[in-house]
Amino acid sequence: MDGRVPSPHLTMADREPPAYASVDMNAVRQYRLARVRQEMARRDIAACVLTDPLNIRYATDTTNMQVWVMHNAARYAFVPADGPVVLFDFHNCEFLSDGLGTVDEVLPAVSTCYFLAGPRLEERAGRWAAELADLVRTHGGGNRRLGVDTANPLCIEALVREGLAVVDAGQVMEVARSIKSAEEMACMRASIAAADEGMRRMREALTPGMTENALWSLLHQTNIEMGGEWIETRLLASGTKTNPWFQECGFRVIEDGDLVSFDTDLVGPFGYCADISRTFLAGDGRANDEQRRLYATAREQIETNLTRLRPGMGLREFGEVAYDLAPEFRRNRYSVVAHGVGLCDEYPHVPYPEDYAKSGYDGIIQPGMTLCIESYVGAEGGREGVKLEQQVLITETGIEVLSHFPFEDRLA
């Protein structure tokens, strides 16, 4: 580190979008690091080793080839409950953390993926663990409980040999990330603005005869142009590909009268996610009766669940009072009624009542959470389906809908 004092307000020159240059990123960083440390203290964890790039981003706001390091274990962060944060970064990348104020020291990472370690992986895992164990002994105050989010099994074994008690850091990070500050919400609003603009350009450009890929590319272009980072899925489908859901876009040519459904899954400016779904009607003609029926049902599900959502209610309670989807649509229902969102889809999630036994858990919907309210409506064996989704902030008194992109009037 070069000792430069970070500016409390970053500008476009420091990578943030110009419209949000006044966001106090120092406040964002200090809030997020404090949240992580608060959750570690609650669980009596001496430190966390974070390898997931989204967790590293949350705790330190450092980034480096985010998608690449999701599948190459080439950087990680040591975050103690009390003590210096040490970032272990990729080859010659120490300068990337200059001026952030959340990293006290940068050291070269010991890469622990086979691509970089080859047959020396076990040796590398030993070095990786020894260096981290030394930090725990130095800064842990005698506490040997070390949180780890994801790591090669050889790395976990090496930590245990060093005398550390390895615990899950995933719960630390998910719970920490679930409550957003006002400054974080400014970051999220920038991402949603990018998604709204991308959807506007998609709606304007949608023409029968273009491919799904061509339409989807406009969202990517807009996101990058506005300072965004990547898009997590390719969930855009047209016509018969809209039922069942989860078919990704390809070279199918969009036809006149097709429904076009999509889910943005957009990681935009500041690394925050805009997870919004809409369904368009291709061409200038009128929607048919079945298309309007599907769309009306999806709108009703979204609007009903928005009116029934309130701060302080339990996750299970919300699932039980949520919109009762008709039997013909139950088989193809979406995987959840609602889920948390921040840097990506995250804690909590609310399954349908019939799915609670296998995937549900208890929890409270709290002010400061941001949730996505989901709907997919498509009959089993039906021709088409409708995907809608709204992103909301839970406030002290209710909810705030965050996306301002309109629904499709021609399908109403």
| Domain presence at residue 2 | no
- CB atoms under 10 Å from CB of 34, counted, come to 12
- Kindly give the confidence (pLDDT) of every residue in the chain, 412 residues in length, as a single tens digit, with 9 standing for 90 and above: 334 344 344 333 455 555 456 789 999 999 999 999 999 999 999 999 999 999 999 999 999 999 999 999 999 999 999 999 999 999 999 998 998 899 999 999 999 999 999 999 999 999 999 999 999 999 999 999 999 999 999 999 999 999 999 999 999 999 999 999 999 999 999 999 999 999 999 999 999 999 999 999 999 999 999 999 999 999 999 999 999 999 999 999 999 999 999 999 999 999 999 999 999 999 999 999 999 999 999 999 999 999 999 999 999 999 999 999 999 999 999 999 999 999 999 999 999 999 999 999 999 999 999 999 999 999 999 999 999 999 999 999 999 999 999 999 999 9
Residues in Cβ contact with 60 at an 8 Å cutoff, skipping those fewer than 6 apart: 29, 33, 77, 79, 85, 87, 97, 100, 102, 103
Bridge partners, residue 148, by sequence = 49, 168
Question: Under a CB-based contact definition with an 8 Å cutoff, are residues 173 and 144 in contact?
Answer: no
How many domains are contained in the chain? 2
Residue among 259, 249, 267, 342 nearest 298 (CA)? 259
262 lies in the same domain as 156: no
260 lies in the same domain as 311: yes
170 lies in the same domain as 187: no
Residue 185, SS3 per DSSP: helix
Residue 279 is part of which domain span? 182-411
214 lies in the same domain as 350: yes
275 lies in the same domain as 345: yes
